[in-house]
Chains A and B, each alone.
Chain A
Amino acid sequence: MSTNITLLVVMGVLFAVGIYLLLERSLTRVLLGIVVLGNGVNLLILTAGGRRGQAPLYQDGLAAEAYTDPLPQALILTAIVITFAVTAFMLGIIYRSWVISRADVVADDDEDLRVSQQSTFDFEEDSPVPEDTTEFEGEDSAPAGNHPEKGPRA
């Protein structure tokens, strides 16, 4: 299978730029990254179709090998439509995020922060249980002189 080296280089650049943008914190840049990546993938599929040939419309007497492979083009068409829909939705989300918080960055998750900051101490489960040294009610449960420092209160 012969491939077009220019297309390969362009594809590589698109992927590099797209991934760089995708890793940004600003949502608009993330969106641009997705758009650029999507185009990179489209080029990849186009390249996968093999070398250029006649338009895939039936002509008498033309060998099957002379046509361009039409399937990748159909796949790309679908992929373009899908990227278009996702882009439109992302723009909607970004605008909404801007309306709500005047911010265009990926926000932290409050609950995540809370869980990461919570102590491992659980009042009900981890409180020291009062040490019971006698089974008889009414007796002093901690006899004098017997490890006074082991009291239940911390």
Chain B
Amino acid sequence: MIDAPLTAVSFAPLAVALPIFGAALAFILRRKRRTQRLVTIGVLVITLCLEAWMLATVWGGGTYSVTLGGWAPPFGISMVVDGFSAFMLVVSSIVSLAVLLYATSQGMADGDEDGPVSIFHPAYLILVAGVSNAFLAGDLFNLYVGFEILLTASYVLLTLGGTTARIRAGTTYVVVSVASSILFLIAIGMIYAAAGTVNLADLAVKLPDISEGTQTVLHVMLLVAFGIKAAVFPLSFWLPDSYPTAPAPVTAVFAGLLTKVGVYAIIRTETLLFPGNRLSEPLMVVAGLTMLVGILGAVAQTDIKRMLSFTLTSHIGFLIFGVAVGNQLGLGATVYYVAHHIVVQTSLFLVAGLIERRAGTSNIERLGSLAKLSPLLSLLFFIPAMNLGGIPPFSGFLGKLGLVQGGAELGSPVAWVLVGVSLLTSLLTLLAIARVWNKAFWRKAEDATDPDPLLLVGVEAARGATYDIVADEPASRYSDRGNTALLPNGMLAMTAALVLVGVALTVFAGPLFEFSDQVAGQLLERNNYIEAVLGTGQGVR
């Protein structure tokens, strides 16, 4: 498809290039905060429009590839745009834009003109570039590069400010990520030795010629490498340890995007390189354990951010379940569930950031009265929380229903056990959520252990007020914040926008499910991908 007419897809490389150039510009402008903010937001808006255009192009089906640098595939670097990658690009860009505006509003409210956060905007754009590159990558090595770009940016974002807690969490995170990257690189080396190519489409053609045993080794190595990045049990323990210490917007965007890139890579390799569900049963066991161990961890936590990190790893299990089921129903539901999970988990982390601002802590033992103090905040927590728990009619329910149907259609004993485990996990998620709701929102602050004085001033005094209301209370964590709004409108607005996107996933579930079903069909029928990259007539069988 080298002589393809100019379409939206021809501009796919810009989805990576724009944020990188934007990052460079934002770094040059680090002393001019307003211009820097404008550049970052502008770049993300343009990228989002471009990606939406690409999604519109591939909405009805069809796969396109762009070859960079004039080298014909499989030697050159190709980027592939199909329904799945375009959809993931759009969802991830919506989420990153919302989080960026939230962070900007927080920064403007706090007046961080002299903090070390001038690096935030460039690093954030690099993260977006890495995520886009990973979604578009048409060969394994470019996928590796995409991972490294986003990971390096995430190291910087996670250790922003360099406080004790963040350095401690950052160390674990960096070492684990580097270890997984090294494993991935080893797998790439092995695959190159075995098949002589790293191009995904070319590999899909050539891998069947390799002996079954070698294929299994390569398959498992890739799965382990991606499993660490996607936080799949037993490789998930780094995540709840490192995410909660970062600033709220950073945790939110990490929770939304980073693990999902790992899941994307797993889905891509499972369907394109190793079709036929050879490791279906082990994957199902792993998926079940991911769900159970994660959610049991969530129930034990008292800190909202940590609790959410555990539900994050737990719900990765649902996605792996869908991949392991591997039929069109299951894969389609997985595609839908990925979008749901990105949006809902990110909005919950944003709400956790707001709770911490409003109440001085995110420890539920010390929280209370929030339903009375801020009904809007309660609503913003309640909707995505119920969505996460899978209460009808929200998108979480629809996604889980799809997964359960896929499992039931497969009908093997392990699949039925997994259906049971997924329902139990939903129930336990609801329990974890209900604990937060009861303690933080419904309980009176007076009943909490050592509540922050912020919670004890009356509703009337706190309405629209600033941290001045606790200026004389040394017991409050924010007593020195002074004339800063408790809940800046921009932060509330962006959280509300993301919650609304989550609701939109429910409202437009019909067309979206149709689309994700078609995407699953494309993933299973691999020839359109292979022929888009290598040319017509090169497909398998």
- A residues contacting B by CB (< 8 A) are 1, 22, 27, 30, 34, 37-38, 41, 44-45, 47-49, 71-72, 75, 78-79, 82, 85-86, 89-90, 93, 96-97, 100-101, 106-107, 109, 111-112, 115, 118, 124
Q: Given A48-B193, A96-B162, A115-B301, are A86 and B178 also a contact pair (CB < 8 Å)? A: yes
- Provide the residues of chain B in CB contact with A93, threshold 8 Å: 159, 167, 170-171, 174
Determine the residue in chain B with the shortest Cβ distance to A37.
Answer: B182
> Knowing that A44-B186, A82-B145, A109-B241 are A-B contacts, what are 10 other residue pairs whose CB atoms are under 8 Å apart, sorted by A's residue number?
A1-B193, A72-B192, A75-B192, A78-B141, A90-B178, A96-B159, A97-B167, A106-B168, A107-B168, A115-B302
On whether the beta carbons of B189 and A41 are closer than 8 Å, the reply is: yes
- Provide the residues of chain A in CB contact with B168, threshold 8 Å: 97, 106-107, 109
On whether the beta carbons of A106 and B172 are closer than 8 Å, the reply is: yes
- Number of A-B contacts defined by CB within 8 Å: 89
Whether B416 is near chain A, meaning CB under 8 Å from some CB there, is: no
In whole angstroms, what is the CA distance A111 to B170 when docked?
A: 15
In whole angstroms, what is the CA distance A14 to B49 when docked?
A: 47
Select A71's contact among B75, B159, B301, beta carbons within 8 Å: B75
Q: Given A86-B174, A115-B301, are A45 and B189 also a contact pair (CB < 8 Å)? A: yes
Select A90's contact among B141, B169, B174, B303, beta carbons within 8 Å: B174
Shortest CB-to-CB span from B203 to chain A, Å, is 14
B residues 92-144 touching A (CB-CB < 8 Å): 141
Name 19 interchain pairs, CB-CB below 8 A, sorted by A: A22-B175, A34-B175, A34-B182, A37-B182, A44-B186, A47-B189, A47-B193, A75-B188, A82-B152, A86-B178, A89-B152, A96-B162, A97-B167, A100-B164, A106-B168, A106-B175, A107-B168, A109-B168, A115-B300
Shortest CB-to-CB span from A111 to chain B, Å, is 6
Select B189's contact among A22, A44, A107, A124, beta carbons within 8 Å: A44
- Provide the residues of chain B in CB contact with A107, threshold 8 Å: 168, 171
Determine the residue in chain B with the shortest Cβ distance to A125.
Answer: B435
- List 5 A-B pairs, minimum CB-CB distance, nearest first: A48-B193, A45-B189, A44-B189, A48-B192, A107-B168
Determine the residue in chain B with the shortest Cβ distance to A27.
Answer: B171
- Provide the residues of chain B in CB contact with A1, threshold 8 Å: 193
Select B145's contact among A72, A78, A90, beta carbons within 8 Å: A78
On whether the beta carbons of A41 and B164 are closer than 8 Å, the reply is: no
Shortest CB-to-CB span from B336 to chain A, Å, is 34
On whether the beta carbons of B171 and A41 are closer than 8 Å, the reply is: no
- Provide the residues of chain B in CB contact with A47, threshold 8 Å: 189, 193
Q: Given A75-B141, A93-B159, are A85 and B171 also a contact pair (CB < 8 Å)? A: no
